[in-house]
Structure 1
């Protein structure tokens, strides 16, 4: 293993590790939360972290044994390197105030954030699968025994072909891969649903994603009712929601019809409204074309482009006297407007002269 370049790279490596992707949704969530706390306490320069296991358990509201289990999981897979072992009163002699002879007191363990090196093929002679972590009394080696009976086979490892939603390209709509990518977008956009894993979010929203909903539609449904009214909140912080899956099911159940099928989402409603608007505009355009064709006596043709002098000179006298040109009422109104414009221009010149 090697020192990680940043906290973001450490968290990304933990989330995309094959053994982590094979975990259940609750175990994956606890693992990522513990890794996130270790990254939050890490020094930006040395990338060393030293929060106590009890402090992590209190911040995440987890059992101390759970935190120890996932820290051990990270150490065994090369994500944490031991810089200094922690000490307690059980192993260091101190006085009644908990201070040792050197006056430093009980010290927390110091770890360094690492990323495991890529594994080589087993046939490569240069492969040396050893860890750079020093031996520790708190991290004993696990002995893997073979099958007990002759015909007994080793249990097959867990599936590791989970989907990486951060590096894969866009999947085909309607597939489980596409639903997982939608769930990942919801997980990254919502601070409330970030407490759940993307696989659990896919389980909660699978019916709506199969009906053509997008991540924005799901987030809109969690904040708005089908009639457009906003949901009212009785809590001041997302941490007050104890049962996030139940909260999601309740909000999304309002978007189901009497047969249990999802109603059209926001994007689908906007698409239908846009299609209706385009249809109405097409009908109006056809009506205008028909009106112009009936008035002129034929299909409307684009007028030829005129020069600036021809446009200022206006239409010729022959066209003004034709039946298809402007009538007497139009010419009288145009003359009145020209007279008013000349009168305003004369008043402006008199005001400037004075």
Structure 2
């Protein structure tokens, strides 16, 4: 059974004027990807806007056939592409409109639904076609394609070869480490050095935490960090185990959790604070927070209260942390065990002495009566 989308796209491409004269069909997905990246209008855009654009471009490029036409059967629908690219529907529409205006995309068939399709009485009649996704053809302006051909001095073929799917027996599929790889093909990045004259300085970012060369031991979940380095290690573990906190840097997270750590919180306590109220109940379920630092600050602030005592430091916990509750329980159990051991030792000492045994029994009875609640008169 033939695909109606592909038939319409083939009719458009096989017609006398499939695309405007100043545009050419992209020869490959890699060439189209390079054309979008090198377009002059992308240089003046913000970095987050470019990231959204390239995410949409990747979805379009990976959902096309050999004729450079998007295929709905491969998931080239707005809902699928927006979800896979991690952008909203309005952002996807904006990036598609930008590509259409710059000649980097040509709409072959528009998307339609039964409600707005002619002859269905606004969806009252079912024509059996269902929702039809729009199809696009990947195009490049002729002048930009010529500029890319002139700049392509050999590395373009390598780029296209690496962008295409590797063969089954490709040596790049071997798991790392592959000791048989030549040194020049290991793709090990070299440190970028900026030449400023007599001295050269490495191009590094001081605010970013460098990635360790070897795995480091994670901070224990039941230990309270004391120093700044220990707090940073605890925040690294929280980021590694929580995808929401992973959107923040470890240093920023440490600044928000510093007061909680100073009051004796552990990694497990922080998890409990972020997902439970001080009374013990869980926070109401909701979508992922839009602004993670504000979400963390609000959840932590709910567990803190001003301290009005003379020797207080100005703030204290409104409710004990789970680790403090467990520690108080273990301390009470140890005191009870110590008291029972002492009473058993005293009873063994007074064994055989009726007077001493009676005095000891009287002493324990009076202690029990003093702990019992007073009866109402």
TM-score when scaled to structure 2? 0.40
When Rg is computed on C-alpha atoms for both structures, the one with the higher figure is 1
TM-score when scaled to structure 1? 0.42
Q: Which has the higher contact order (CA 8 A, sep 6+)?
A: 1
